[in-house]
Amino acid sequence: MLPSLNAVKTFAVAARKKSFKLAAAELNVSATAVSHQVRNLEQWLGSKLFIRTAQQVQLSAAGEQLYSHIHGAMDDIEQGLMQLKRQQSRLLIHTTSAIATWLMPRIEHYRAQQGELAYQLITSEQIAVTGQELSNEISLRFGDTSTVPASQRVSQASYGLYQAPHKADESQVFIPTWKQKGLTEPPWQQFIANNNLNEQDFDRQYYDLEFLILQQAIAGRGYAFLPQTFAQDAVQQGLLVQSRWQPVPSEQGVYFYQGSTDKTAAAQHFMQWLQERG
């Protein structure tokens, strides 16, 4: 049976410090405990590792040989552990470009309220996460939430027309075409029917980027027909207002794609905060 890693680590620190007392201070143990661990290692090896004097300890030839083998390995282990800890503390967020635009202001609000959040945003129009998510990894999507558990839902969306506060071109309407496969088309016909409108009164233009639709509406070039999810920040900033017509509900919304089990504390806290604010 090999000696304990604790004994090997204690030896490495004592060898580096050339002092049992200094090693004990670094390891937060007594000098007697350091001496005990070193003695156990020496007994297992059958060889003295230190030459002990009244003033100091020096490595023996066997100690020099052992230290040359393990000090680099101990550094590698420490660096590996610290790298893994840093990786686990950084949140990996998989999402689409549209959700990223919606998410970024919320991340800034979170950081202002809760403190620093280390994260990496990874965008893809198709679902990129396969298999089991890492504990520091979440995936946000916009789509049909009718079969999504309530614990994974973030927000529910209704569709409406949004326009600039000043006079807008009331003949143009900008409608999204989703890049994400399998996503239900915006309920434009339902909106027309619910509000007793004449479809011929509108010239429809289709964009596959939601922020371009927002920019067209903000510039007063027409209406943006969007889920309230993507328009609400512009409304809150006074850049857009909702039209006089009633929005139509939908089963679409933002949700966590693979759930929230076995997540790091940082990931769980951020996910809960996001769900509470929608």
- Asked if 106 and 277 touch (Cβ cutoff 8 Å), the reply is yes
Q: What pLDDT does 237 receive?
A: 93
User: For 33-81, what is each residue's pLDDT tens digit?
Assistant: 999 999 998 899 888 999 887 777 888 988 888 888 887 777 777 676 5
Going by their DSSP bridges, the two strands 172-176 and 203-207 should be labelled as parallel
Q: Which residue did the predictor score with more confidence, 28 or 88?
A: 28
Task: Tell whether the model's pLDDT for residue 85 goes beyond 60.
Answer: no
Q: What pLDDT does 153 receive?
A: 92
CB count within 10 Å of CB 201 equals: 10
Q: What pLDDT does 163 receive?
A: 94
CB count within 10 Å of CB 191 equals: 21
pTM: 0.66
Let me know if 215 is exposed, middle or buried by CB neighbors in 10 A (0-12, 13-18, 19+): middle
Task: Tell whether the model's pLDDT for residue 128 goes beyond 70.
Answer: no
At residue 119 the predicted structure's pLDDT band, cuts being 50, 70 and 90, is: confident
